[in-house]
A and B are shown apart, each in its own frame.
Chain A
């Protein structure tokens, strides 16, 4: 029986998975946009983004636009690779391993 792949625990969290998936479609996104898209609270969103940042999956840029602070997040190459591997593992698990 082939060995079942393990799911990356950093990505497996529902909100973190949603954030990474959202970031694949854009070049960079503002904190407020991510909050609106996920319907998450500021505290929870900040904590999950920090975990992704610590894992090297997202990069953060802070700047001022028209004297207002803006925090921009973008997916790193490592994040893209990790999400691809996660999806492959997920498909492998769903492809007959569970319940089989």
Chain B
């Protein structure tokens, strides 16, 4: 082997290392569906708690939020477990999951306690949910360096502020709009990005 071909082979090895490290770190996890799922869950809980749907069990509007949130949590866990079985775990993925799980537990415990203690105030309820979602989206976007998600965080923070200063009706409208933009629209956008990224395919050694 000549010195030149040996050098080429060594350069090839170096390039292989760089390609494979990048490939391993390339996120393949898909989380866009969770935003859509939770957006639909929020709308469902709002509709149930507002109108009760007129049926026997659905008439218990007080349980609308806890039941819907528990149902959505179980569904998320089942689908995430199925998805995780196919993908390797990364430190970034675990960090982001930890933030969202911690926020979910905090929100559930706080809102359930407020509800059970009778200190229920719709505007406060919206402000707490919006502020927590703003924090979590912001932390997640900073880790991922994803400006579109940071825009969602800004929308949630605006919704939290608007809920404190506006009327009950304005607070409800702001909440519905924020859910649509930050859960349904952003979730759909994330799903499109993930599908496009996964379609690019894998490099081969």
Q: Which residues of A line the B interface, CB within 8 A?
A: 12, 14-15, 17-19, 21-30, 32-33, 36-40, 65-66, 68, 70, 83, 87, 90-91, 93-94, 98-99
B88 sits at the interface (CB 8 A): yes
Contacts of A65 in B (CB 8 A): 85
- The A-B contact count (CB < 8 A) is 93
Instruction: Given A25-B24, A30-B86, answer yes or no on A17-B16 (Cβ-Cβ < 8 Å).
Output: yes
Contact for B23 among A12, A22, A87, CB less than 8 A = A22
Residue B148 interfacial (CB < 8 Å):
no
Interface SS majority for chain B:
helix
Other-chain contact of B13, A12, A24, A26, A29 (Cβ < 8 Å): A12
**Which B residues are in CB contact (< 8 Å) with A22?**
20-21, 23-24
Q: Is the CB of B85 within 8 A of A66?
A: yes
Once A28-B88, A29-B88 are accepted as A-B contacts, the answer to whether A94 and B21 lie under 8 Å apart by CB is: no
Do A26 and B85 form a contact, CB below 8 Å, given A18-B205, A39-B205? no
Q: From A15, A33, A37, A98, give the contact of B10 (CB < 8 A).
A: A98
Residues of chain B at the chain A interface (Cβ within 8 Å): 3-4, 6-7, 10-11, 13-14, 16-26, 85-91, 94, 202-205
